Amino acid sequence: MKAIFLPLVLAAGVLNTGCQSTSTTTSSDAQSANEQTQPAHTLRVATFNVSMEATNYDMAKHTAQSGNALTFALKSGEFSQINNIAQIIQRTRPDIILLNEFDYIENPDQGINLFKRDYLEVSQNGFDPIEYPYVYLAPVNTGVKTPFSGDDTRLTHYGFGKYPGQYGMVLLSRYPIKQDQVRTFQHFLWKDMPGNLMPTQPDGSSWYSAKEVSAMRLSSKSHWDIPVQICNKQVNVLASHPTPPVFDGPEDRNGKRNHDELRLWKDYISATGNEYLYDDKGQTGGFTDTSFVILGDLNASSVDGDAYPGAIDQLLKHPRVNDYPAPTSQGGQLNKPENKHGDTHTAHWGMRADYVLPSADLAVTGSGVFWPASHEAGAELVADRAASSDHRLVWVDITLPTLQCD
């Protein structure tokens, strides 16, 4: 399976990808769900764990009919959850958005193109359709079996999943993606990170067997560096979805893996200490350009949850990352009123898990979490996981310097 890059040719006048003021709809916390105009040259970047993986759509019932449960769900029109996901995106109107937990389907016409054509490009509850002419999707490690089997192995899959591609991810963009410059780190081995936190036994020996250590990939899904061209300005999207730091034992294998998945980005954007990194094409070293945005469901918080100590602070306190205040919502605060950090939560169980982290050279002029309070418009879209997802869409507005556009 290989990465797929999808430019979509549109009729003249349907979509303007030039550097113009953009009419948008803000998130619920963020003033209202009513549309308002962004300043000129403002780029809205978002991440959204959409929980669009096949087990949500009664896979046992439908796979025999469709070959893939997500494909069936998208074609059927039976699942209001998908319409609600599309409506949330139409309300917030990001220019670039990463969808986490959108199953990887190699043929885009059986997956992401169905979602775009039949949902995003169709008005949901009266909101304007939205079009993304550029798409990046690629394989992930979840559900991919290792060469090992039997009672003596702990490493049966490279990433947790019932089938290859479960909990995948896809990037949608209004602006061109430089396909030939994309870097991915799906196959980077955990052991090749100096000073890694691979779990150990009480006696200090490796928790994994020698053969497992030799094959264990660091990324539970993948790490993508995707250059996006916005007129004469390039912004690199650094996308990932590290493993949750739970569902393990005292060895804390998932917590340590989450930490090191985040460390990969920390090292990648640092001036030194990234010579060990190699991507899936064999290119070594870290990030050499100027502007980036780290985004995704990073499954870590510095104040809530079970993350390995300092995991997310590797990024939040990095000198190359913009230290703007965390996006907030009234819905998040009311969800956990006893938690003083509730307004920054992005997941219903009470944690800031989803992040959009621009580089320090980019000016952040707005941010928010789509989490309407019960009395606000759109509250029904986030009533529970069945309504849309157990995560909320997080967005950040970046004001770019004067651009030269064709």
Could you tell me the domains of the chain?
4-9+21-399 (3.60.10.10)
Q: Is the pLDDT of residue 275 over 90?
A: yes
Strand, coil or helix: 387: coil
Strand, coil or helix: 284: strand
- Encoded amino acid at 41, one letter: H
Closest among 350, 275, 264 to 306, alpha carbons compared? 350
- The per-residue pLDDT for 68 is 81
Q: Is the pLDDT of residue 26 over 70?
A: no
The pTM of the whole model exceeds 0.85? yes
What does the pLDDT average to over 52-68? 66
- The per-residue pLDDT for 41 is 84
Query: What's 95's DSSP letter?
Result: S
Calpha distance 75→321 (Å, rounded): 40
Q: Which of 32-41, 151-160, 271-280, 354-363 has the lowest mean pLDDT?
A: 32-41
* 88 backbone dihedrals φ, ψ, rounded to 5°: -60, -40
- The per-residue pLDDT for 55 is 85
* 78 backbone dihedrals φ, ψ, rounded to 5°: -90, -10
- The per-residue pLDDT for 21 is 35
What does the pLDDT average to over 270-296? 97
| Tally of helices (H runs) and strands (E runs) in the chain | 8, 14
Closest among 313, 288, 287 to 300, alpha carbons compared? 313
Is 172 or 31 the better-scoring residue by pLDDT? 172
Q: Is the pLDDT of residue 11 over 70?
A: no
Question: How confident is the model over 216-232, as pLDDT tens digits?
Answer: 999 999 999 999 999 98
Question: How confident is the model over 63-87, as pLDDT tens digits?
Answer: 444 458 899 999 999 999 999 999 9
What does the pLDDT average to over 284-312? 96
Token pair 């490690």 is found at: 141
